[in-house]
Structures are given as structure tokens and as C-alpha cells.
Amino acid sequence: MANTNPGPAVTGSANSMLTAQAVNTQTNSNPVESNALRVLAVGRAINVNSTGDVGTLPVLNASRWNVQAVVYSNMGNNAGTSVALGVYPGPLQTGTTVVSPQILSGIQAYGGVTVAYRATVVNVTYAGVSQTLYVNCQTTAGTACTIDVFVLGYDLS
């Protein structure tokens, strides 16, 4: 009969990451890299040539979260001086604002100088529970253009 004992009990959450560093769980109930700053939501190739909610980003494996950074990247063409994006926990700019609409000044297309733009998070103390984040476009690119959105923060669940 095979040994079915998985080993000693460990303390952590479902979102803990495996590391190769020894941890004494007798004194540290939260192992290394457990609940670290991580990607909470990702949106790839979001079309920013229309206004309103242009992207829905499912929150990845967190029932309660706190956003610390939002990064826009991989703009399809040089439209950063005209595109204004915001991030919200509810559709049509409802709920506590994560990122208010900001023009992505300086962001360039792949061959340009700046390839990423870090937006200012409005309320870094907000603990959200919505399972979807909405990217809202206030002003458009004026031409076919896509962008990637990365939401980073803490899993508080």
C-alpha cells in the first residue's frame, strides 16, 4: 500500500508559491513568498479606439484584493498622447476608482522609446472584492490601436 501521508501540515493560502528556501513554520506562520505582490488581473490587446468600457479583466484567484500598481504596455501604435484610460471595480466607472482616467503621455508603440506607462493608483488602501475589473476609455486613439493592461497588488483573501 502506498504512503498517502502528504507530510507535515503547513500554514499558507491557496495562493502561496513554492520556493526553495527553508522556512521554520514553528515561528513563521506565513512562509516566504506567500501572498506577495503579484499580478491580480491581465488584459491583452484591449482595443482603445472606442469610448466606454473597453476591457474586462477577471481577478485572478483572489476574493479580496488591494491594487498597488497598474501598468499599460505594448501599445499598438503611437497614440499615447491621446488615449485616456481608467480602471474600476464596476462597469461604466462605478465602484471605488482604482485608476482615474489618465492620458498615457509618453507611451510609444513597440519601436518607440517608452513601452510602458505606470498609472497612479487613486486609493492604495482600498480592499476590493469585485471579481472583475473594468478598463474604461475616456478618449480614444483615433485609429486602430490595442494595449495590454497589468494590475498588480496583494491578495488579501
12 lies in some domain: no
- Please state the domain count of the chain: 1
151 neighbors 39 (Cβ within 8 angstroms):
yes
pTM for the whole structure:
0.75
112 lies in some domain: yes
33 lies in some domain: no
Per-residue confidence band for 51, with pLDDT thresholds at 50, 70 and 90: very high
The three cell numbers of residue 81 are 498622447
87 lies in some domain: yes
> Can you tell me the distance from the alpha carbon of 56 to that of 60, in angstroms, rounded to the nearest whole number?
12
Residue type, 18: L
143 lies in some domain: yes
pLDDT at 111 over 80: no
> Can you tell me the distance from the alpha carbon of 135 to that of 53, in angstroms, rounded to the nearest whole number?
6
Nearest to 121 by CA among 149, 145, 83, 81: 149
pLDDT at 15 over 90: no
145 neighbors 83 (Cβ within 8 angstroms):
yes
140 lies in some domain: yes
3-class state of residue 125 by DSSP: coil
Per-residue confidence band for 83, with pLDDT thresholds at 50, 70 and 90: confident
Q: 53: domain range?
A: 38-155
- What CATH number did the domain enclosing 75 receive? 2.60.120
| Count of other CB atoms within 10 angstroms of residue 95 | 16
Mean predicted confidence (pLDDT) in 98-105? 87
28 lies in some domain: no
pLDDT at 31 over 80: no
Mean predicted confidence (pLDDT) in 104-117? 67
The three cell numbers of residue 106 are 509618453
Mean predicted confidence (pLDDT) in 83-88? 92
